[in-house]
Amino acid sequence: MNRIGVCPGTFDPITNGHLDIVNRSLKFFDTVIVAVARNPQKAPLFDIKERLEMITDSTKGMTGVQVEAFDGLLVDYLKRKHAHGIIRGLRAVSDFEYEMQMAMMNRNLDQSIETLFLMPSVEYSYLTSTIIKNVASYGGNIEGLVPPLVARRLRDTFRSAP
């Protein structure tokens, strides 16, 4: 049986912390779908096509990883994909309350959905896409915190900003 997990997020941009979670989740699932949300409530720096491109490039060496965009309720997406669970990273206690609420709502919407929480490796425990964008916007060094293509795209984006 092919056990499918979905790792959802905005990934604006993907970081090495995200990739750490995706890679480690392959211990629990045969296939991990990195599901990129088109979240109308957020104003992403990169459009959906760019985010999909960066994630696909960053995961090309990971067997069992697929990258797709999705709209709507996550539980509906999981049903369409015949997925068995949601994969979420928890960096700090501050993440827990929100993530627990989302997990409980997803379970309320579909009792068969389970959420697997993974802690990132220590070297990525403080990383967020927002922090990465802030550092990059001031020309700070983000090497080793994001994949090479992401670092280039961030440098190019902020270099051309007014």
Q: Which residues are catalytic?
A: 18, 42, 91, 129
CA distance 108 to 101: 10
Residue 4 sits at φ, ψ, to 5 deg, of: -110, 130
Residue 52 sits at φ, ψ, to 5 deg, of: -60, -40
Q: Name the nearest CA neighbour of 86 among 95, 100, 69, 94.
A: 100
Across 3-153, the runs of DSSP E, i.e. the strands, are 4-9, 31-37, 65-70, 85-89, 114-118
Residue 72 CB contacts under 8 Å (≥ 6 apart), including other chains: none
